[in-house]
Amino acid sequence: MTARIGVVTFPGSLDDRDSRRAIRLAGAEPVALWHKDKDLKQVDAVVLCGGFSYGDYLRAGAIARFSPVMDTIIDQAKAGMPVLGICNGFQILTEAHLLPGAMLGNDHLHFICRDQKLRVENADTAWTTDYTAGQEIHIPLKNMDGRYVADDYTLDKLEGEGRVAFRYVDFNPNGSLRDIAGITNEAGNVVGLMPHPEHAVEPLIGTGRTDGLPFFTSILKKLVNA
């Protein structure tokens, strides 16, 4: 039976089709989910894609967190369903308190778009098992509010529990504390990151590499072997 992975579209989402394409390339079935619907259509996992949900009014991800679909996603994530938040999706996950910390405006106050080197810090989450710890990958990055912040206690807890999933290498593009590019929850089923792996799944687009595809093959293997 083919694994079904939902991709939520909010008003202002930009990368929902790209995420569905990446899921299809990995061998799973992408399922379009609408922000006003609480029904997840029996998907096995969910991707919250990048973009500017609700125009980033009030605060990036703050309004999307209250969309009807998020009530179901929060409940299902707490019950163990895998959820990946990419860029704006990461922001939504912090607003929904599925991940700790917050996302602030880039320290240089400008939108940034570049190919970014990352180091895989945790290869044991539902979304990272096809990587190896310490592996360096190149993933496109594009954000205005990408600066990850948290208090020292939370940061130390993330570090101590191995919950920093990805770290910026060579260049910190937005001032994120401790060069954090992505984190995971305690159970490893919820992952958020700022760079866009869905833009690095084919040689002819994005970075010209396929470094982002293991996100989607990892979850496929997790679901198939569950």
Residue 113 annotated as catalytic: no
Residue 40 near residue 46, CB atoms below 8 Å: yes
Per DSSP, the three-state class of 199 is: helix
Q: At what angle do helices 16-26 and 213-224 cross, to 10 degrees?
A: 60
For residue 79 the two structure tokens come to 């019950």
The residue from 35, 138, 196, 199 that is catalytic is: 196
* Strand 29-34 to 112-120 pairing: unpaired
Residue 87 annotated as catalytic: yes
Residue 211 near residue 137, CB atoms below 8 Å: yes
* Count of CA atoms in the C-beta half-sphere (13 A) of 99: 34
Query: What is the C-alpha to C-alpha distance for residues 25 and 35, in angstroms, rounded to an integer?
Result: 24
Per DSSP, the three-state class of 68 is: helix
Query: What is the C-alpha to C-alpha distance for residues 206 and 199, in angstroms, rounded to an integer?
Result: 5
Query: What is the C-alpha to C-alpha distance for residues 138 and 214, in angstroms, rounded to an integer?
Result: 12
The residue from 35, 87, 121, 138 that is catalytic is: 87
* CA proximity to 10, closest of 45, 46, 61: 61
* Strand 29-34 to 4-9 pairing: parallel
For residue 138 the two structure tokens come to 């190149």
* Catalytic residue list: 87, 196, 198
